């Protein structure tokens, strides 16, 4: 059980982090919140958008605002798993030769997997264990990653040249998938001003330590959610399955596979994170609504008809949200 | 947290009551309309319920509602769902239900403190989140209004089963039934007159509803029925009955006189029999009786106009009425003497002892004389012509014109022990029946099955009889009910 003081400190940490990020990133409040929620909920986030929208800057700013180790992996088609995870190398120590593990860039607190869909699926899959179990296995050895750990991946829209769609198993491990939209005119002007005046863009100073982040995670995990809302989340997730009685007609027509149970877990965790950032003492329906789309949009797979007709998954989810009642 | 636990208790109580109300109103709604259905069936004469059962019928929905309420109140509902509904209704951001989670876990952390602070604000108006539903109100109001409005409606509006076509014309108007119900007692009886189906129906033993005709039938079956219906107030109210007897005699004489004036000739056997019967009832002591005996002793072919006029004058006189004892005793002893008297008296019919109103014996000897006029003559059956209803009921009109053709009481009809006035087609045939008093219509057109109701005669009969006010009201109500729109 957390104390009042812990709660206050955690909320203060969250507030500082947010201020630090919004001081650098213009607009994109939802994206910033999603990144923070993911970090506070011990998840991973996938940022999708065309190049130049500030995805990488966001991750760099987050890493800068935290007094944590940061690493960036630029995914390319020729990137190999060992380039990410590390490998055993032959070393000589006092005349004896032996293999020593050389950790890859995955061994950091904040990992930026830039343009993750430019690597082959084999390399992409190298992140699976790290993202889910927070461990890395190389050869016969398994290494535990240091907490707090977060993978922030960016990807270009998959229909662009030279990209490899992420495997479903990989995608499912991202707590949230955030679509980064182009800035508005005012935001673009502000971005231009910040980057061209004076010394240019200055990354934020560290405002939170790893211990503070872990304290925040404990607090977030304690935020109560009503049993009725948990059932509501379950119905929402089941409604993405075409064979479910909760499914809408369009879901039945256009969806091949619905969201996995991991989606329900992600939805509740993310809703808790959202409630924490909002300063609420409990999870509200509004919190679930805020994270519903980013938590499920990458977990629903369209069937051939849906793909052929170009059915947007967000519209299906919006329909599910509007038709599923809290109180049955 | 004491306040939250007490709030939970209050919420649960209210939810149980609302649940009880919801189920109760459903039960009331269903019960009310079921009761209305049964009442409607009774109204249409599809069912027969006595008064206590009818009263109970309208109480049953409320009893059902009470029982359903008790069941609903006892039914438990999951509190988390209720609290979530309350949160949604009050827009409290799911705080009540979230606090319940912490309450169950025994959490004493800062979130509970914060939630309690926020819940305290909305706790005062929690009832607003659990209102009595519109459905409950609508069902309740609909049920109660339906019951309250329809009870008097059903009680006062006559059943369509009793409504017959208005009979604007008394003479020659065929009686047709407009029965909304196949089991409409009177409607069926009346339609049976035209369709010749009444005998079968009556014989089939259909159970009639508790209706006015049943009450009338009950009166008839009672021991004092002859005294009530047979004009036998003579026994205990001579003043009342004497003028009526005189009026009836005068009317009879007037009609005979008028017929003789138009057609000539002498008395028909039926007229003779009727006059003999009247003379016997009046006795030799009365001047009118003596005049009638004198008239009857005249030779065939003698002009009787003067005698008839004289007798009418006497009948008009106040002392024309005979001593009441004779007639009263005769009438009261009628059931046992009916058969032997029936052969002798032209007009007097006595119900057979033990005979019910709906099942008169067809074996009983008819005694009412048949009219000799042309209309009656037209009623005679032609060779090869199937016997119509009139003939079947009245024992067959086989005689030639001028002959006294005995008439049998048709099934479902009971003769009245009356010295009835003559109708347009001769002596008025009066029957106590489940329909209306009838006589055969003058069937110049050859339709022997047409029957008419002589309302003037009925009214005269009713006014002349020493019936108790209650019985008069009953009879009037009955005929008003079956002749809505008629005279």
What is the H or E stretch that residue B64 is in? helix B51-74
Among B111, B128, B156, the domain boundary falls at: B156
Give the model confidence (pLDDT) of A63-120 as tens digits: 888 888 888 888 888 888 888 888 888 888 888 888 888 888 999 888 888 888 888 8
DSSP β-ladder status, A301-302 and B413-415: unpaired
Q: Is residue B453 part of a domain?
A: yes
- Alpha-carbon span A46 to A150, nearest angstrom: 11
Rounded to whole angstroms, the Cα distance separating A197 from A203 reads 14
> What is the chain B residue with the closest CA to A275?
B93
In Å, how far is B66's CA from the nearest CA of chain A? 27
CB A270 within 8 A of CB A217: no
- In this structure, are A129 and A265 located in the same domain? no
| Chain B residues within an 8 Å CB radius of A328 | 81
Q: Judge whether residue A271 has pLDDT over 90.
A: yes
Does some domain include residue B278? yes
- The verdict on residue A85 lying in a domain is no
The shortest C-alpha distance from B127 to chain A (Å) reads 18
CA dihedral sign, ordered B180, B182, B183, B185: positive
In a domain, B177, yes or no: no
- Return the pLDDT at A274: 92
Residue A114 lies in a domain: yes
Give DSSP secondary structure letters for B263-330.
Answer: H-S---HHHHHHHHHHHHHH-TTSHHHHHHHHHHTSPTT---HHHHHHHHHHHHSGGGSPPHHHHHHH
- For A172, the 3-state DSSP assignment is helix
Coil vs helix vs strand at A113: strand
A177 with A36, same domain? yes
Whether B182 is in a domain gets the answer no
CA-based nearest residue to A112, from A64, A160, A164? A64
How many Å lie between the alpha carbon of B117 and the closest alpha carbon of chain A? 11
Specify the CATH number for the domain of residue A28: 3.40.50.300
CB contact under 8 A, A229 and B94: yes
At B360 the pLDDT is 38
Residue in A2, A226, A328 closest to B101 by CB: A226
Averaged pLDDT in 10-residue chunks for chain B of 487 residues:
74 85 87 81 72 74 86 82 83 84 82 83 76 82 80 64 44 38 37 37 40 56 45 38 62 80 78 80 78 80 79 70 42 37 37 38 38 38 39 38 44 46 48 46 44 61 66 73 56
Interface test with A, best of B111, B119, B130 (most A CBs within 10 A): B111
**Residue A86 resides in a domain:** no
Q: Which of B156, B181, B216 finishes a domain?
A: B156
Asked whether residue B205 is domain-assigned, the answer is: no
A216 touches A276 (CB < 8 A): yes
Residue of A6, A215, A220, A281 to mutate, interface with B, max B Cβ within 10 Å? A281
A223 interaction partners in chain B (CB closer than 8 Å): 111
**Residues A179 and A324 both lie in one domain:** no
B-chain CB neighbours of A286 within 8 Å are 93
The answer to whether residues A134 and A172 belong to one domain is yes
Confidence at residue A29, expressed as pLDDT on a 0 to 100 scale: 82
| Chain A interface includes B99 (CB < 8 A) | yes
Q: Looking at the structure, tell me whether residues B303 and B387 fall in a common domain.
A: yes
In a domain, A160, yes or no: yes
- Rounded CA gap, B149 and B143, in Å? 10
Question: Do residue A281 and residue B115 have CB atoms under 8 angstroms apart?
Answer: yes
Interface check A285 vs B, CB under 8 A: yes
Please give the residue range of the domain that contains residue A17: 1-77+107-196+208-222
A282 touches chain B (CB under 8 A): yes
Beta carbons of B100 and A3 less than 8 Å apart = no
Q: Same structural domain for residues B317 and B230?
A: yes
| Residue A9 burial (C-beta neighbours within 10 Å; 0-12, 13-18, 19+) | middle
Cβ-defined contact of B111 to A326 (cutoff 8 Å)? no
What is the per-residue pLDDT for B75? 80
Looking at residue B464, what is its pLDDT?
A: 63
Q: Kindly state the percentage of chain A with pLDDT values over 70.
A: 98
Domain count, chain B: 2
> Does A120 share its domain with A213?
yes
Mean pLDDT in residue range A224-244: 90
A157 and A54 within one domain: yes
Which pTM value belongs to this model?
Answer: 0.55
**Whether the Cβ atoms of residue B270 and residue B456 lie closer than 8 Å to each other:** no
Using CB atoms, which residue from B85, B95, B113 is nearest to A282? Answer: B95
Chain A neighbours among B 107-126 (CB < 8 Å)?
107-111, 113-115, 118
3 state SS of A103: strand
Q: Which pLDDT score, from 0 to 100, does residue B69 have?
A: 87
Instruction: With respect to residue A92, please indicate whether it lies within any of the assigned structural domains.
Output: no
**Residue from the list A2, A7, A284 with its beta carbon closest to the beta carbon of B94:** A284
CATH at residue A288? 1.10.8.80
Q: Which of B88, B102, B108 sits opposite A224 (nearest CB)?
A: B102
Question: Domain span at residue B121?
Answer: 2-156
pLDDT value at residue A56? 77
Given B131, B156, B181, which residue is the final one in a domain?
B156
> Using a CB-CB distance cutoff of 8 angstroms, which residues of chain A are in contact with residue B109?
1-4, 7, 222
Which residues of chain A from 225 to 264 reach within 8 Å of chain B, CB to CB? 225-229
Indicate the residue of B83, B101, B107 with minimum beta-carbon distance to A1. Answer: B107
Of B231, B230, B267, the residue nearest B426 (C-alpha): B267
Clarify whether residues B52 and B151 are in a common domain: yes
Per the CB < 8 Å rule, is B98 touching A226?
yes
Indicate whether A125 and A146 sit together in one domain.
yes
Please indicate if any CB of chain A lies within 8 Å of the CB of B339.
no
Cross-chain CB nearest to B111 (options A224, A229, A285): A224
**Same domain for A248 and A215:** no
- Tell me how many domains chain A contains: 2
Nearest by CB to residue A281, choosing from B81, B108, B114, is: B114
How far apart CA B150 and CA B157 sit, in angstroms, is: 10
**Under an 8 A CB cutoff, do A285 and B100 touch?**
no
Q: Is B240 found in the same domain as B138?
A: no
Q: Is the pLDDT of residue A146 over 70?
A: yes
- Kindly state whether residues B151 and B232 are assigned to the same domain: no
Q: Does A222 touch chain B (CB under 8 A)?
A: yes
Interface of B with A in 63-82 (CB under 8 A): 80-81
Q: Distance (Å) from the C-alpha of residue B33 to the closest C-alpha of chain A?
A: 30
In a domain? residue B170: no
List CB contacts (< 8 A) between B88 and chain A.
326-327
Interface test with B, best of A2, A282, A283 (most B CBs within 10 A): A282
Q: How far apart are CA A98 and CA A139, in angstroms?
A: 14
Asked if residue A83 is part of any domain, the answer here is no
Residues of A whose CB is below 8 A from B115 = 224, 281-282
> In which residue are the tokens 């999870």 written?
A283
- pLDDT tens for A281-325 read 889 988 999 999 999 988 888 889 888 888 898 999 999 998 888
**Both A41 and A141 in a single domain?**
yes
* Partner-chain contact B110 A2, CB within 8 Å: yes
Residue B217 included in any domain: no
SS3 B348: strand
A219 CB burial (10 A radius; 0-12, 13-18, 19+):
buried
ipTM: 0.77
Say whether residue A162 is in contact with chain B using an 8 A CB cutoff.
Answer: no
Helices B287-296 and B305-316, packing angle to 10 deg: 160
Average pLDDT of every residue of chain A: 86
Residue A6 has pLDDT above 50, yes or no: yes
Question: Quick check: is A30 in a domain?
Answer: yes
pLDDT at B353: 39
Say how far apart CA B198 and CA B195 lie, in whole Å: 8
pLDDT band at A240 (very low <50, low <70, confident <90, very high): very high
Domain assignment present for B72: yes
Provide the token pair at A246.
Answer: 């909760």
A214 & A324 share domain: no
Whether A91 is in a domain gets the answer no
| Same domain assignment for residues A166 and A57 | yes
| Planar angle of CA A303, A306, A312, nearest 5 degrees | 125
Indicate yes or no: CB of A281 within 8 angstroms of CB of B118. Answer: yes
């Amino acid at each position: 059980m957390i104390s009042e003081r812990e709660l206050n400190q955690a909320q203060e940490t969250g507030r500082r982090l947010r201020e630090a990020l919004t001081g650098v990133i213009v607009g994109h409040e939802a994206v910033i919140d999603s990144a923070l929620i993911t970090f506070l909920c011990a998840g991973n986030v996938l940022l999708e958008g065309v190049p130049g929208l500030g995805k990488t800057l966001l991750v760099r700013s987050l890493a800068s605002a935290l007094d944590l180790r940061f690493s960036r992996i630029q995914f390319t088609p020729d990137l190999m798993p060992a380039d990410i995870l590390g490998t055993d190398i032959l070393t000589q120590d006092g005349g004896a030769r032996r293999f020593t593990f050389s950790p890859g860039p995955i061994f950091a607190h904040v990992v930026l997997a830039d343009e993750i869909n430019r690597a082959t699926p084999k390399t992409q899959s190298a992140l699976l264990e790290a993202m889910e179990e927070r461990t890395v296995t190389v050869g016969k050895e398994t290494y535990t990653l240091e907490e707090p750990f977060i993978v922030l991946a960016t990807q270009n829209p998959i229909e662009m040249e030279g990209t490899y769609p992420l495997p479903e198993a990989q995608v499912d491990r991202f707590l949230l998938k955030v679509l980064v939209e182009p800035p508005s005119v005012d935001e673009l002007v502000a971005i231009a001003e910040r980057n061209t005046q004076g010394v240019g863009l200055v990354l934020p100073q560290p405002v939170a330590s790893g211990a503070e982040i872990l304290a925040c995670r404990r607090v977030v995990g304690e935020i109560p959610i009503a049993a009725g809302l948990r059932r509501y989340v379950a119905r929402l997730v089941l409604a993405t399955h075409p064979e479910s009685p909760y499914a809408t007609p369009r879901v039945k027509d256009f969806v091949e596979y619905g969201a996995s149970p991991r989606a329900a877990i992600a939805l509740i965790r993310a809703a808790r994170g959202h409630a924490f950032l909002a300063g609420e003492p409990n999870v509200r329906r509004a919190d679930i609504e805020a994270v519903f789309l980013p938590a499920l949009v990458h977990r629903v797979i369209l069937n051939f008809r849906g793909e052929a007709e170009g059915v947007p998954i967000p519209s299906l989810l919006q329909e599910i949200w509007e038709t599923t009642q809290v109180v049955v | 947290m004491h306040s939250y636990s007490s709030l939970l208790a209050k919420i649960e109580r209210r939810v149980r009551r609302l649940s009880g109300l919801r189920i109760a109103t459903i039960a009331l709604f269903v019960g009310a309309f079921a009761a209305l259905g049964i009442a409607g069936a009774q109204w249409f004469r599809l069912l027969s319920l006595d008064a206590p059962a009818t009263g109970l019928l309208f109480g049953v929905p409320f009893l059902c509602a009470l029982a359903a309420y008790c069941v609903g109140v006892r039914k438990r509902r999951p509190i988390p769902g209720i609290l979530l509904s309350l949160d949604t209704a009050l827009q409290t951001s799911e705080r009540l239900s979230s606090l319940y989670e912490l309450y169950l876990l025994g959490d004493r952390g800062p979130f509970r403190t914060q939630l309690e602070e926020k819940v305290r604000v909305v706790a005062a108006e929690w009832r607003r989140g659990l209102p009595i539903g519109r459905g409950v109100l609508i069902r309740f109001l609909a049920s109660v209004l339906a019951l309250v409005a329809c009870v008097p409606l059903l009680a006062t509006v006559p059943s369509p089963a009793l409504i017959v076509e208005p009979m604007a014309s008394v003479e020659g108007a065929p009686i047709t039934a407009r029965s909304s119900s196949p089991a409409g007692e009177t409607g069926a009886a009346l339609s049976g007159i035209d369709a010749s189906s009444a005998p079968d129906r009556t014989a089939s033993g259909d159970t009639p509803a508790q209706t006015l005709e049943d009450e009338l039938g009950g009166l008839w079956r009672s021991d004092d029925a002859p005294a009530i219906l047979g004009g036998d107030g003579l026994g205990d109210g001579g003043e009342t009955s004497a003028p009526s007897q005189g009026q009836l005699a005068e009317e009879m004489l007037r009609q005979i006189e008028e017929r003789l004036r138009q057609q000539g000739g002498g008395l028909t056997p039926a007229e003779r029999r009727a006059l003999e019967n009247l003379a016997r009832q009046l006795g030799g002591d009365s001047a009118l009786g003596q005049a009638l005996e004198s008239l009857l002793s005249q030779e065939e072919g003698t002009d009787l106009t003067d005698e008839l006029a004289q007798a009418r004058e006497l009948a008009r006189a106040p002392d024309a009425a005979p001593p009441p004892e004779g007639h009263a005793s005769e009438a009261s002893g009628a059931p046992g003497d009916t058969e032997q008297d029936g052969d002798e008296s032209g007009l007097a019919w006595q119900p057979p002892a033990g005979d019910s109103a709906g099942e008169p014996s067809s074996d009983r000897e008819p005694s009412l004389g048949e009219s000799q006029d042309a209309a009656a003559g037209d009623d005679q059956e032609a060779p090869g012509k199937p016997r119509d209803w009139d003939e079947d009921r009245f024992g067959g009109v086989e005689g030639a014109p001028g002959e006294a053709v005995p008439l049998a009481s048709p099934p479902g009809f009971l003769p009245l022990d009356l010295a009835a006035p003559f109708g347009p087609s001769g002596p008025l045939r009066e029957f106590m029946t489940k329909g209306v008093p009838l006589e055969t219509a003058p069937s110049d057109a050859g339709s022997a099955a047409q029957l008419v109701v002589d309302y003037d005669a009925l009214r005269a009969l009713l006014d002349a009889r020493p019936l108790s006010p209650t019985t008069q009201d009953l009879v009037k109500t009955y005929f008003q009910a079956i002749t809505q729109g008629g005279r």
